[in-house]
């Protein structure tokens, strides 16, 4: 099964509201990363949080990591229509090679 699972699968909010997405994973991690993907395009790296960090900020993004619960959350504050995209969490497994596993993703729609 997927290393990272995300919820909700889809989220629709008004511009200006906050959006929260959650990710759970199964094995121990070195770090957890969040990526954004606009429709049908490549992924853009948003933020990386290491296993010894609990919270990290980047602009309007806030990521938390709870290694005891094997979960992470991504908060986007004061959302904009341009934030409409799919958001994926990702972890890397070292199983003799470094294999990146993506969560199922959350599709965010921000209404203007």
Partner 1 sequence: DTEVTQTPKHLVMGMTNKKSLKCEQHMGHRAMYWYKQKAKKPPELMFVYSYEKLSINESVPSRFSPECPNSSLLNLHLHALQPEDSALYLCASSHPGLAGGPSYETQYFGPGTRLLVL
* Angle at 64 (CA atoms; ends 21, 97), nearest 5 degrees: 90
* Helix (H) and strand (E) counts in the chain: 0, 11
CB of 78 to partner 1, least distance (A): 25
CB of 50 to partner 1, least distance (A): 9
CB of 79 to partner 1, least distance (A): 21
Q: Is 36 in the site for partner 1 (CB under 8 A)?
A: no
Q: Is 81 in the site for partner 1 (CB under 8 A)?
A: no
The answer to whether the bond into 48 is cis (omega within 30° of 0) is no
């Amino acid at each position: 099964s997927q290393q990272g699972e995300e919820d909700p699968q889809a989220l629709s909010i008004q511009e200006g509201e906050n959006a929260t997405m959650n990710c759970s994973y199964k094995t121990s991690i070195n770090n957890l990363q969040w990526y954004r993907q606009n429709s049908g395009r490549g992924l853009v790296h948003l933020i990386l949080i290491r296993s010894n960090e609990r919270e990290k900020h980047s602009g309007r993004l806030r990521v938390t990591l709870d290694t005891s619960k094997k979960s992470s959350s991504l908060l986007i504050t004061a959302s904009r229509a341009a934030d409409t995209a799919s958001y994926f969490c990702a972890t890397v497994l070292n199983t003799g090679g470094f294999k990146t596993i993506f969560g199922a993703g959350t599709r965010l729609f921000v209404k203007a």
